[in-house]
Amino acid sequence: MIEVAGVGKSFTVRRRAGRIRRSRTTVAAVDDVSFEVAAGEFVGYLGPNGAGKSTTIKMLTGILTPSSGSVRVCGLDPSRQRTTLARRIGVVFGQRTTLWWDLPLRDSLTLIRHLYRVDAAAHRARLAELTGLLELGPFLDTPVRQLSLGQRMRGDLAAALLHDPELLVLDEPTIGLDVVSKATVREFLARLNSERGTTILLTTHDLGDIERLCRRVMIIDHGRLAYDGDLSRLRATVDAGRMLVVEFARPCPPISLPDVIVERVQGPRQWLRLPRTANAAAVVAALADRHEVRDIALRDADIEDVVARLYRQVGTLAK
């Protein structure tokens, strides 16, 4: 479905280097990335902000032309055969909308039918199906500007799927959604993939999306593919654990306890990383024994922690 071989994309950035002169520097947003996605797969594509996720997606959809390497999607060259390709894939940019702000949702979907030249009968059936699955019924006739973010996102998903694409590319589809909306969207995507067999490529910052949906994960950072494989193997290799933020009564030297790694010290505050297997209660008790503790917060490592850790162990990961 997707074949990416040695793809790079660099941008030229001009900077002032004197009164008139500008110096040009080339920044590689994506650097020598290769991967393949087979039909029917559900792949998560992660990475911190600026890692190259969106650039990759723009190359897959033909909006950007790669500086080097080759991209094939559905057997087509996206930048040369963009129009043909667009009729076979669906794309959702989570932070942008394809819907007409001032018009009812139903009208936007009608226009998209004409855009993709779907015949009336097929459109009616597909719209009825998507309306049921995404629960669009209550707001089909509401102007898009009055929809909540969750409703709008479901509308955008319907818009991307009306022409029944083989491949769905999602760029942060759950960004900003509440827990219930996220669950609806995830449930829908899981069914789309398992029942209809639509191939899905999903970029996100939300580990929950990945855990719930994807068997395979690719991680990109600084434009390079750092990991490509099973989610479970990623978990096993990269135990990012939890972060314990402790505030002591007064500044003290970095804590030394078994299993605990001190990530940061700032005045009386210390950031301690605990592996998933560590007993947090015991660690807290041991800390309280040694110093006067003012405040404590414990949180799960987020995607940035996973990626940051991944990078420290990049040598140990078999690609």
Interacting residues with other proteins (CB under 8 A)? 11, 49-50, 54, 58, 61-65, 82-84, 86-87, 91, 93, 96-98, 100, 102-103, 107, 110-111, 114-117
- Tell me the C-alpha distance between 144 and 136, whole Å: 12
Nearest 10 degrees: Cα torsion 27, 89, 153, 193: -110
Cβ closer to other proteins: 206 or 255?
A: 206
265 is written with which tokens? 């010290």
Q: Kindly tell me which of 165 and 241 has the beta carbon lying closer to other proteins.
A: 165
Write the CA distances from 240 to 164, 234, 313, integer angstroms.
Answer: 39, 10, 11
Q: What SS3 state is found at 301?
A: coil
Helix (H) / strand (E) element for 71: namely strand 68-73
> What is the side-by-side order of every strand in the sheet holding 242-248?
261-266, 269-274, 242-248, 293-300
Closest to other proteins by CB, 12 or 256: 12
| Structure tokens given for 308 | 């940051």
- Residue placing its CB nearer to other proteins in the complex, 198 or 270: 198
Q: How far is the CB of 79 from other proteins (least distance, A)?
A: 8
Q: How far is the CB of 116 from other proteins (least distance, A)?
A: 7
By beta-carbon proximity to other proteins, the closer residue of 59 and 255 is: 59
d(CA 217, CA 150): 25
Task: Give the CA angle between residues 105, 106, 107 to the nearest 5°.
Answer: 90
> Helix (H, G, I), strand (E, B), or coil: what is residue 1?
coil
What is the nearest approach in angstroms of other proteins to the Cβ of residue 24?
Answer: 14
Query: To the nearest whole angstrom, how small is the minimum distance from the Cβ of residue 114 to other proteins?
Result: 4
Structural contact between residues 159 and 108, judged by C-beta atoms closer than 8 angstroms:
yes
Nearer to other proteins, 160 or 185 (CB): 160
Question: What is the distance of C-alpha 131 from the center of its chain?
Answer: 25
Identity at 188, one-letter amino acid code: F
At closest approach, how far in Å is the CB of 64 from other proteins?
Answer: 6
CB closer to other proteins, 11 vs 132: 11
Q: How far is the CB of 124 from other proteins (least distance, A)?
A: 17
Least gap, CB of 259 to other proteins (angstroms): 38
